[in-house]
Amino acid sequence: MKVVELAGGVGGAKLAEGLAAHLATDLTVVVNTADDLELYGLAVWPDHDTVAYTLAGLDDEQRGWGLRDETWAVMDRLADLGDDPWFRLGDLDLATHLWRTERLRAGARPTDVALGLRAAMRIAPQVLPMADEPVRTDVRTDDGWLEFQEYFVRRHQAPTVREVRFRGIESARATAEVLKAMGAADAIVIAPSNPIVSVGPILALPGIVEGLATARARGVPVVAMSGIIGGRALKGPADRMLAGLGHESSALGVARLYADVATTFIVDAVDADAVPAIEALGIRTVAFDTIMSDDEARARVAGDVLRLAVHPGA
């Protein structure tokens, strides 16, 4: 069974690990690239690296990003030199950015660099950037427009987000590898990532919505998972962002954002009372425990998602 997961940060990585336990090389994870940034001349791909490190079993679960057993000597030395390295690149993490940036500088496509990292880290699933052209998320706050990581890390997600834009999205497009994987998929899963700034850029990318429609027309289920549980995001600003943008911060609010692309919607058991209202949107909806608190839970939730994808009517 071939599955494509559309994923962002932590929520996407946990589900990817659970799916990989069942699917290995039959899983393709399409990652958001709009959080990417350049620091000290290095290409940093947070959503890609969070998924790749998790699939490689190298992730730091407590921090939720970067590598386990990390040290910070380079960042500390930069601070001694008078810099303010507010976006922290660990000493081991820097090796990834150096490895990647050298290849990009030599003219390699981001997709080929990602596939090279997959091989170098011996990761079974494919982890594919959604596009090879640059796309960057900015958020408009009461202090004006901020680049995503400036908002997310430097400002600790404190400002209220009034508007979001994906700079460069018009001249970007889903890569051939992404479209090929979607064309060969038996199921497509939208991860419980932030629907605005993690899944949003992927769905806004030219080619993706068409690819999802083609898949649905082939009878391929598009199964979306709510990252909002009991009105809250388990991690990150999705709940406040939804509210600030005028959406309902609830499973129903997220379902409305996916109503045109998903055939099936999964809410956590605590939101079972929202099932009828979401089904009224025309989406097959089920409720079960979706908390991926450890490896066993990740594999269990992923197994439940796959069973649902295989037997949508079940």
Under the rule (CB under 6 A), what is the footprint of ligand FO1?
A: 8-9, 35, 44, 46-47, 49-50, 65-66, 87-89, 93, 149, 152-153
Nearer to ligand FO1, 152 or 258 (CB): 152
282 sits in the region (left: phi over 0; alpha: psi -120 to 50; else beta) called left
156 sits in the region (left: phi over 0; alpha: psi -120 to 50; else beta) called left
Nearer to ligand FO1, 9 or 110 (CB): 9
Measure the CA angle with vertex 190, ends 184 and 194; round to 5°. Answer: 150
Min dist CB 212 to ligand FO1, Å, is: 22
CA distance 201 to 180: 19
Nearer to ligand FO1, 93 or 138 (CB): 93
Nearer to ligand FO1, 9 or 201 (CB): 9
Min dist CB 158 to ligand FO1, Å, is: 12
Nearer to ligand FO1, 233 or 252 (CB): 233
Work out the angle between the directed axes of helices 46-55 and 10-23 (0-180°, nearest 10): 40
Nearest Cα neighbor of 152 from 198, 93, 120 is 198
The span from the first CA to the last CA of the chain, in angstroms, equals 18
Min dist CB 225 to ligand FO1, Å, is: 16
Nearer to ligand FO1, 203 or 259 (CB): 203
CB atoms within 10 A of CB 162: 12
Min dist CB 115 to ligand FO1, Å, is: 18
Write down the residue that tokens 């508007």 correspond to.
163
Nearer to ligand FO1, 196 or 306 (CB): 196
CB atoms within 10 A of CB 73: 10
Min dist CB 129 to ligand FO1, Å, is: 14
Q: What are 42's strand-pairing partners?
A: 39
Nearer to ligand FO1, 197 or 255 (CB): 197
Min dist CB 289 to ligand FO1, Å, is: 24
Min dist CB 241 to ligand FO1, Å, is: 12
Nearer to ligand FO1, 149 or 285 (CB): 149
Min dist CB 41 to ligand FO1, Å, is: 15
